């Protein structure tokens, strides 16, 4: 690591951060300068590794203004060896009081794309060397105008009666199919979207699927977020998934939506398949890393 300098960014050095070419330009992301202007990125939470005066690693932790949680590593790019990236993360963790989670944004189907693997191997390896442990993967899916499947007519769908009905159904659904923005809800507002979705999805429209008059599914949609989204989808009868999905998208389209996004855990194969049958396509994925648990007695 001869001639390597690792340090935090200084205010006004946005251009230095951006001097490293974007290795994954196909991913939608907020520009660093825009993130600083919005308050989510801050120079003291942004670290760089320089070799010969050139940026070979950069890491930016994100914490939106007013958030109640801790920052998370949102941007981490590396053209040097993984050991350099690990040294960068360790130095930042020591200074910032971390380690903190890492939300690694990746293109869809990244494991099947050699050109993407060539880019992401080093930063992912660096995260592991720095003591972060992979805890899950979530897909961001997008519907963008594909004709919706016709209803089979087995299930009726109506608006939720009130918030109490929504809360009662949420309490009966142990593992929702779709939770869009779950990690952001937790970090920004301390809300678990799976158990208290109305606290985060303010202004959402709630729809209930029924069979023989009995509720078997719940969907919460909102057009007021960054993109119209299916924020919550939970079922007591998995067979209702397709009809409730199509109904939710149709309701957003009726309000003027041209695109609808939804997040789903990558291991939920049946849910991913139903999203695809409804016309959703994978837009990107996120790998979630958490600090390794500390062994008892080592603090």
Give the pLDDT confidence of 54-113 residue by residue, as tens digits.
Answer: 999 999 999 999 999 899 999 999 999 999 999 999 999 999 998 999 999 999 999 999
Structural domain spans, the chain: 4-130, 143-285
CA 278, CA 193: separation in Å to the nearest integer? Answer: 23
Name the architecture of domain 143-285. 3-Layer(aba) Sandwich (3.40)
Q: Phi and psi at residue 235, in whole multiples of 5°?
A: -135, 145
Mean pLDDT, residues 271-276: 97
Q: Look at the block and give the residue holding tokens 């397709």.
A: 242
Q: Do domains 4-130 and 143-285 have the same CATH topology?
A: yes
Model pLDDT, residue 116: 96
Model pLDDT, residue 33: 93
**pLDDT 10s digits, 104-119:** 999 999 999 999 999 9
Residue 208's DSSP bridge partners are: 158, 218
CA 156, CA 147: separation in Å to the nearest integer? Answer: 20
Q: Domain 4-130: which topology?
A: Aminopeptidase (3.40.630)
Instruction: Tell me the percentage of the chain whose pLDDT exceeds 90.
Output: 89
Q: Is the pLDDT of residue 296 over 70?
A: no
Going by pLDDT thresholds of 50, 70 and 90, the confidence category of residue 225 is: low
CA 243, CA 277: separation in Å to the nearest integer? Answer: 11
Mean pLDDT (the chain, rounded): 94
**pLDDT 10s digits, 238-256:** 999 999 999 999 999 999 9
Going by pLDDT thresholds of 50, 70 and 90, the confidence category of residue 293 is: confident
Q: Is the pLDDT of residue 142 over 60?
A: yes
Instruction: Tell me the percentage of the chain whose pLDDT exceeds 70.
Output: 96
Going by pLDDT thresholds of 50, 70 and 90, the confidence category of residue 2 is: low
Q: Is the pLDDT of residue 298 over 70?
A: no
Q: Where are the alpha helices (DSSP H) in 63-221?
A: 82-96, 114-129, 163-172, 182-189, 197-200
From the number of C-beta atoms within 10 Å of its C-beta (0-12, 13-18, 19+), residue 56 rates as buried
**pLDDT 10s digits, 12-53:** 999 999 999 999 999 988 899 999 999 999 999 999 999 999
Model pLDDT, residue 165: 98
Model pLDDT, residue 227: 82
Q: Is the pLDDT of residue 224 over 80?
A: no
Listed in sequence order, the residues at least 6 apart from 159 whose beta carbon sits closer than 8 Å to its beta carbon are 205, 206, 207, 208
Going by pLDDT thresholds of 50, 70 and 90, the confidence category of residue 258 is: very high
Do residues 224 and 257 touch, judged by C-beta distance below 8 A?
A: no
Global pTM value: 0.91
């Amino acid at each position: 690591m001869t001639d390597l300098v690792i340090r935090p960014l200084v205010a006004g050095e946005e251009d230095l951060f951006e001097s490293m070419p974007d290795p994954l330009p196909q991913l939608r992301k907020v520009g660093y300068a825009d993130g600083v202007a919005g308050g989510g990125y801050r120079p003291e939470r942004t670290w760089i590794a320089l070799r010969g005066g050139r940026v070979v690693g950069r890491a930016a932790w994100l914490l939106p203004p007013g958030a109640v949680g801790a920052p998370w590593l949102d941007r981490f790019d590396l053209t040097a060896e993984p050991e350099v990236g690990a040294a960068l993360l360790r130095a930042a963790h020591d200074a910032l009081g971390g380690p903190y989670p890492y939300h690694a944004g990746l293109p869809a189907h990244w494991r099947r794309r050699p050109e993407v693997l060539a880019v992401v191997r080093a930063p992912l390896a660096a995260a592991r060397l720095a003591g972060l442990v992979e805890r899950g993967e979530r897909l961001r899916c997008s519907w963008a105008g594909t004709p919706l499947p016709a209803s089979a007519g087995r299930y009726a769908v109506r608006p939720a009666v009130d918030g109490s009905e929504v809360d009662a159904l949420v309490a009966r659904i142990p593992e929702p199919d779709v939770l869009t923005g779950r990690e952001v809800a937790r970090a920004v507002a301390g809300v678990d979207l799976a158990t208290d979705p109305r606290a985060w999805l303010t202004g959402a429209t709630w729809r209930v699927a029924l069979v023989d008059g009995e509720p078997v599914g719940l969907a919460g949609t909102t057009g007021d977020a960054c993109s119209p989204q299916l924020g919550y989808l939970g079922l007591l009868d998995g067979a209702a998934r397709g009809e409730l999905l199509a109904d939710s998208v149709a309701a957003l389209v009726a309000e003027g939506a041209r695109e609808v996004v939804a997040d789903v855990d990558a291991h939920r194969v049946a849910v991913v398949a139903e999203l695809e049958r409804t016309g959703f396509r994978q837009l990107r994925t996120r790998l979630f890393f958490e600090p390794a648990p500390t062994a008892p007695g080592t603090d």
